[in-house]
Amino acid sequence: MPTGVSIRWFESGHCVHPGFMVKPGSGFAPRQFPAGVALVDHPTHGKLLFDTGYHAHFAESTRHFPERFYALVTPHTLHKGDSAKEQMADLGIAADDIEHLVLSHFHGDHVAGVCDYERAKLYCGPAGYDFLTHKNRLQRLQKGYLKELIPDDAKTRLNFVDQFELDVGDILQLPTGKLGLTATDLFGDETLYLVSLPGHAAGQLGMLVRLQNEFIFLLADACWLIDNLRDGVNQHWLANILCDDRRVYVDTLNKLRQCYQQAADRVVFVPSHCQETSQMLLQRGWMN
């Protein structure tokens, strides 16, 4: 099915955790986790960004306590020229060229750069925005939310996504049929589907993109490594502390594993923070 849709992957900074946190048994050695950002070019609806990665705004928002704890627990690096906005500018793409911005969830490493895209229509799950706006400062911090990262005018541009009438199993025509992973057709043309991936964060969204001969499945933080799907590796229990709902997280992960087992030959699965996946995208020419 010709779609005219293209995609490019960026790493907008990275954070560091001990390896065992995401892959038990891999020791205490620090491991880098890139903050992935996808730029989707749609022939009719223009340019869409999936998340924003890190931004100087993150460092500013975590300069003082108690927010400073966030930066200490997840030390990050963002060099000059590494923000998604700067990398796109090198390709001749201005921030104002971005017409749509999907916020997979409201953790700082995914939304820090929202301030750069003043024209973009924003899409998110309402549960995440409700947590961001109705919980107190310490409750937000405990789950990795920084209210200061979302501009004051964001509410006027937000489109809440909470109706998922399709099933990923049907979209991909899997032999076992429905998976229980639900989705909605963003533009009504069977090219971009926003997928409900709850558990890690309230209202988390992924995105399934139909390309010329395959799909790419942007998983946000439904899993951190491709190992979680391919090899059945589970993250350390300490990492579950950040989860919005651990039971739901495990349920989502198990459904994604079923999807991977049936569709890995025609779907590229992309966790937001997986170095191995980034290297694969680089080899395919999809990475900046």
* Per-residue pLDDT tens digits for 218-257: 999 999 999 999 999 888 666 777 899 999 999 999 999 9
pLDDT above 70: residue 132: yes
Distance CA 257, CA 271 (A): 13
Model pLDDT, residue 30: 78
Contact 147, 160 (CB under 8 A): no
CATH of the domain at 130: 3.60.15.10
Domain that holds residue 263: 6-283
Distance CA 176, CA 233 (A): 23
What is the share, in percent, of the chain residues with pLDDT greater than 70?
97
Model pLDDT, residue 287: 66
What is the share, in percent, of the chain residues with pLDDT greater than 90?
85
Structural domain count of the chain: 1
Q: Decide if 86 is inside a domain.
A: yes
Q: Decide if 1 is inside a domain.
A: no
Distance CA 172, CA 236 (A): 31
pLDDT above 80: residue 121: yes
**Tens digits of residue pLDDT in 9-40:** 999 999 998 767 777 777 777 789 999 999 99
Model pLDDT, residue 237: 67
Model pLDDT, residue 1: 62
Model pLDDT, residue 18: 78
Distance CA 220, CA 210 (A): 17
Name the average pLDDT for the chain: 93
Which pTM value belongs to this model? 0.96
